Structure 1
Amino acid sequence: MPYNIAMVSDFFFPQPGGVESHIYQVSSKLIDRGHKVIIITHAYKGRTGVRYLTNGLKVYHVPFFVIYRETTFPTVFSFFPMFRNIIIREQIEIVHGHVSLSSFCAEAILHARTMGLRTVFTDHSLFGFADAGSILTNKLLKFTLSDVDHAICVSHTCKENTVLRASLDPLMVSVIPNAVVAENFRPLSYNPRGSQSITGSPDPRPAPTPIGPNDTITIVVISRLFYNKGTDLLIAAIPRILAANPNIRFIIAGSGPKAIDLEQMLERNVLQDKVEMLGSIRHEEVRDVMVRGHIYLHPSLTEAFGTVIVEAASCGLYVVCTRVGGIPEVLPQHMTTFAKPEEDDLVFATGKAIAALRSNKVRTDRFHDQVKMMYSWQDVAERTERVYQGVTGDISPEEFYGYYPGQGWEASGDRVRSFALIDRLKRYYGCGVWAGKLFCLCVVIDFLIYVFLEMWFPRANIDIARSWPKKQPAGKSRVSTDRSQTRNHSLGS
């Protein structure tokens, strides 16, 4: 059964990044499967109001104040009137938030539950438990997920992290990885004939000409230049890699506060002729940069998945990356060389990868076909759709959570979140001695604002937006116009 879905996050195009690409690709594939999907994000420079993207994907750019790294200033309640208007106009049934640090995501999930909508949350990040920033972030995540219907994580490591941070029932968290459009990340000399499958069947193509000892090897780095992306580690490792390995060249694309430190290192060591700085690039330019290299270096200190390393492998690059977070789950070992997040080990791993390429021990010409068989956005959309079916009750809790008679446990009724205010307050009250009371106060105020809006700005005065015309897939029924309104009014029934 088709659904009306709102994807909500502070992070979306035109800003480049893995989260932005994930939201767009999943939304586009869900539309192909017959669902209606809209995006709600904040206004970017040159992007305000309502925009339409490919495949009829509608984007609402809400004008809110941005404070840091494209995250809006958290106001908790001021977003509610505009959010309610959009939800009613588009007849939304499911609100799907992305990224734990997104203010829009946290507020949208709170407001959606107050309006009687089903909610889903996708976590793309990993956080610690000791420093002040992590403690504050984890408390915010606990607030966001206390009343969410289901959560999705992009790797098993990310799931373990999220379950611990938000004290969730593990059965309420699914693992759905990111993917890549392999056709958009082809090597320069791609030959699809005789491709080797991941099962190891013979490949009749001749081995590529090995890289000689005097041939130049180019190492590509495409990343936001922030501390958590390992920029300091990169700055320390580049001079040592260049000193130990002649005929090496770096191409670095990305921007951020650490860019000035990187430029100072190049000037201090006089490496401008060895390292090319491209600055910020658009996502559609990533492939053109990657195919100029032989090795992709990913020195991140924390990573839930790392879509960029899948894109690099699809382009035929050998990947050198740190063994952190969910990165070891992403690619098979023959495509990667792992290093500890330490300077010495990163230099050693990079030297090992250079030696492997020069000796022709790695068949990078096979990577593209193998990656194409591993990851698919269509598969991600189908698995996400199953989550929607589970939270809306279109499939039984036993089927969704994997419970079958005779297994020794019963499906907990708490996994089906009640919209009753008293039940919601019970869930929030358990978030902490002081935080629980504060969260309950927020929920009560949000409910009172909702009652006020329903009385003074009735739904009948809000025009219903016409959906983008599209051909319904075979076997898909049309969305009834009153189904979402019935669910929206369930709180007052």
Structure 2
Amino acid sequence: MAKDRLNIALVSDFFCPNTGGVETHIYFLAKCLLARGHKVIVITHAYGERRGIRYLSNGLKVYYLPFLIVYNGASLGQGPASFPWFRQIFISEDIQIVHGHSSFSTLAHEALMHAGILGLHTVFTDHSLFGFADASAILINFLLIQYSFANVDRFICVSYTSKENTVLRAQLDPQRVYTIPNAIETSFFYPDRKQFFENPTTVIFLGRLAYRKGADLLCEVIPTVCHRYPNVQFLIGGDGPKRVDLEEMREKYGLHERVRMLGMLPHNRVREVLVQGQIFINTSLTEAFCMSIVEAASCGLHVVSTKVGGVPEVLPDEFVILEQPVPKLLARALCDAIKMRETGRLMDPDERHKRVQKMYQWEVIAERTEVVYYDAMHDHVNTWRERLQRLLSLQRWWGLVWCWGNLLGFAIALFMEWWQPRKTLRETTAKTKTQ
């Protein structure tokens, strides 16, 4: 089995041309799986005029489905109504493994449900950490995650902290959950020695300016550090609801010349901004795996970060200063990093880049993900009765709602099989390809 070629569908609401950790992960994972000889497609929702079937420069085939976007880039749930779309794609592409990404992606959850109805194997990668006490977390854990994950074959989490979080939230068997970190394309993130040594001490922040990303912490840390070090500058890339707070902080303390707001950055400009500094600060309040600190380290920057979630697992101690998400403590940690810079005690940027190259490689991530696929392929495919029994075993009343949704999906599947049999659909697809 280990040498079999697989037909894989990667599904998420979050993909190119949008930028972000999930989008980058799917793109480079698909690229490496293609290089390993597998057939890979991506299914996502339409982005503006980008809809229908598109081929990316690396030969990756992408289905941009015309689904309505309702919140934060996620599509409106179609339920059983989206089954014909997924059935058409899965059968015509002869898909064996459906791999969903991100707990926030409605499209991924629907794809897992429809794949199960069609008897396909399923894998899910969880990229986020959730709480257990706030109302939104309770709602998504209880109403969605447990039931959506009930019949998934295997799971991947991007850190050990993320694995523990997912196992507890979804009540999963830990033996079915793998830990595989993210990676970066280090050839895109390399140092600029001239700017590193000749630019004044510059601290970089790149991320969404929102509460979860610690924008409030940043508002308190910056004035403290600027007061202690009059020559230090800050570059802030990103946008979000907390941008106004940062603008007000800058005006209140008269820091317009020292704190530059760059706004939202396309991914191809990230390296251009990172290499202008020597220190990177991450103020996130929760993170499963922080891609931005790996990108910064690859560009030769020293990292100061909050000690939350899976962040302590990402970089070795000599690359990062970790501190609790408390303004006074984080400001002190940043001042320590600035002192290291001014006394010439920071690691050489090229040496840091070489070490990151050895830590995170997409080829290794793809190889490890491949192992998960083959493991899932050995699993027994649940019958319709077994799927319904698993849903009912979680919680009877809400389980009944999910059972009715699955039963409706089964009914649509039977109708579609009568109206357009798989054999006919495959023959039509093969005829189209030869023309």
On whether the aligned pair clears a TM of 0.5, the verdict is yes
Partner of 1:270: 254
1:322 lines up with 2:306 in the alignment: yes
Query: How far did residue 312 of structure 1 move?
Result: 0.3
Query: How far did residue 437 of structure 1 move?
Result: 1.6
1:367 lines up with 2:342 in the alignment: no
Letter in 2 for 1:57: L
Q: 1:47 aligns with which of 41, 45, 50?
A: 50
1:388 lines up with 2:392 in the alignment: no
Letter in 1 for 2:395: G
**Aligned residues of 2:92 and 2:425 also touching (Cα < 8 A):** no
Letter in 2 for 1:143: Y
**Aligned residues of 1:155 and 1:305 also touching (Cα < 8 A):** yes
> 1:1-16 counterparts in 2 under 5 A?
1-16=4-19
Q: Partners in 2 of 1:166 and 1:368 — Cα distance?
A: 37
Deviations 1:327-386 (A, max 9, x none): 000000000011111111111111111111111222142110000011110000001111
Structure 1 residues 247, 11: closer, same or farther in 2, change over 3 A?
Answer: same
**Aligned residues of 1:147 and 1:417 also touching (Cα < 8 A):** no
Partner of 1:59: 62
Partner of 1:80: 83
The TM-score normalised by the length of structure 1 is 0.83
Deviations 1:378-426 (A, max 9, x none): 0000011111111112xxxxxxxxxxxxxxxxxxxxxx34321111111
Letter in 1 for 2:403: C
Q: 1:301 aligns with which of 255, 280, 285?
A: 285
**Cα RMSD for the two superposed structures:** 1.8
1:436 lines up with 2:399 in the alignment: yes
Partner of 1:35: 38
> 1:327-346 counterparts in 2 under 5 A?
327-346=311-330
Letter in 2 for 1:131: D
> 1:63-462 counterparts in 2 under 5 A?
63-139=66-142, 140-189=144-193, 216-365=200-349, 366-393=351-378, 416-459=379-422, 460-461=424-425
Which 4+ runs in 1 deviate beyond 4 A? 465-469
Query: How far did residue 245 of structure 1 move?
Result: 1.6
Partner of 1:464: 429
Q: Partners in 2 of 1:78 and 1:343 — Cα distance?
A: 48
Q: Partners in 2 of 1:320 and 1:19 — Cα distance?
A: 23
Q: Note the residue ranges of structure 1 that are not aligned, 5 or more in a row.
A: 191-207, 394-415, 470-493
Query: How far did residue 17 of structure 1 move?
Result: 0.6
Query: How far did residue 434 of structure 1 move?
Result: 2.1
Deviations 1:246-282 (A, max 9, x none): 1111111112222222222222332221111111111
**Aligned residues of 1:418 and 1:424 also touching (Cα < 8 A):** no
Q: Partners in 1 of 2:25 and 2:288 — Cα distance?
A: 13
Q: Partners in 1 of 2:290 and 2:36 — Cα distance?
A: 26
Q: Partners in 2 of 1:454 and 1:268 — Cα distance?
A: 66
**Aligned residues of 2:121 and 2:381 also touching (Cα < 8 A):** no
Structure 1 residues 69, 335: closer, same or farther in 2, change over 3 A?
Answer: same
Query: How far did residue 461 of structure 1 move?
Result: 4.1
Q: Partners in 2 of 1:385 and 1:100 — Cα distance?
A: 21
**Aligned residues of 2:158 and 2:182 also touching (Cα < 8 A):** yes
Structure 1 residues 389, 12: closer, same or farther in 2, change over 3 A?
Answer: same
Letter in 2 for 1:128: G
Partner of 2:24: 21
Q: Partners in 2 of 1:121 and 1:248 — Cα distance?
A: 43
Moved more, 292-301 or 359-368: 359-368
Query: How far did residue 466 of structure 1 move?
Result: 9.1
Structure 1 residues 457, 466: closer, same or farther in 2, change over 3 A?
Answer: closer
**Aligned residues of 1:318 and 1:364 also touching (Cα < 8 A):** no
**Matched residue pairs, number?**
426
The TM-score normalised by the length of structure 2 is 0.94
Deviations 1:204-242 (A, max 9, x none): xxxx97x8xxx7211111101221111111122212221
Letter in 1 for 2:420: F
Q: Partners in 2 of 1:160 and 1:468 — Cα distance?
A: 45
DSSP 3-state at the match of 1:101? coil
DSSP 3-state at the match of 1:348? helix
DSSP 3-state at the match of 1:434? helix
**Aligned residues of 1:313 and 1:371 also touching (Cα < 8 A):** yes
DSSP 3-state at the match of 1:41? strand
Deviations 1:429-468 (A, max 9, x none): 1222322222212211111111111122333146326999
Q: Partners in 1 of 2:146 and 2:326 — Cα distance?
A: 32
DSSP 3-state at the match of 1:216? coil
Moved more, 419-428 or 122-131: 419-428
**Aligned residues of 2:203 and 2:281 also touching (Cα < 8 A):** yes
Structure 1 residues 239, 467: closer, same or farther in 2, change over 3 A?
Answer: farther
Q: Partners in 2 of 1:47 and 1:465 — Cα distance?
A: 25
Determine what percentage of the aligned residue pairs are the same residue: 47
